[in-house]
Amino acid sequence: MSEPPSSSSSQLIRIPIVLALDCSPSFLARCRRVAARARFLVRSCEAASAWAVAVRLRPLAIVLPSHLHDRAPRTFELLAEDAGARLVVVESEQLPAGELEGHITHAIGEASRARGA
């Protein structure tokens, strides 16, 4: 009978999480297609539950439309700070996939470095 792998031989795989706030279904689908290619996971929620979800999931990036961010920019900055994430404020949900991927992966990289991961 074989023994289970020791903790030193097992590897923990961390998948970056991106939290999308109040995004349309079509934009969320685009984010998920980008995520599949760039290897991160997208979770979504309404802005009203963002704080609880962000504290639980600890996303590296938080994506939100500019019209939402403009309503309470300081609140979203504090949310990102508390979660250890970077904000990705999207002016248009029609942003080309390559640009969207670039903004999100840049935010993930910055947050990862800031966390020391």
Tell me what pLDDT residue 116 has.
85
Write down the domain spans for the chain: 17-115
Quote the pLDDT of residue 4.
53
Render each residue's pLDDT in the chain as its tens digit; 117 residues.
Answer: 555 555 555 787 788 999 999 999 999 999 999 999 999 999 999 999 999 999 999 999 999 999 999 999 999 999 999 999 999 999 999 999 999 999 999 999 999 999 986
Strands (E), the chain: 17-21, 41-45, 61-65, 86-90
Give the chain's radius of gyration (CA, Å): 16
**CATH code given to domain 17-115:** 3.40.50.2300
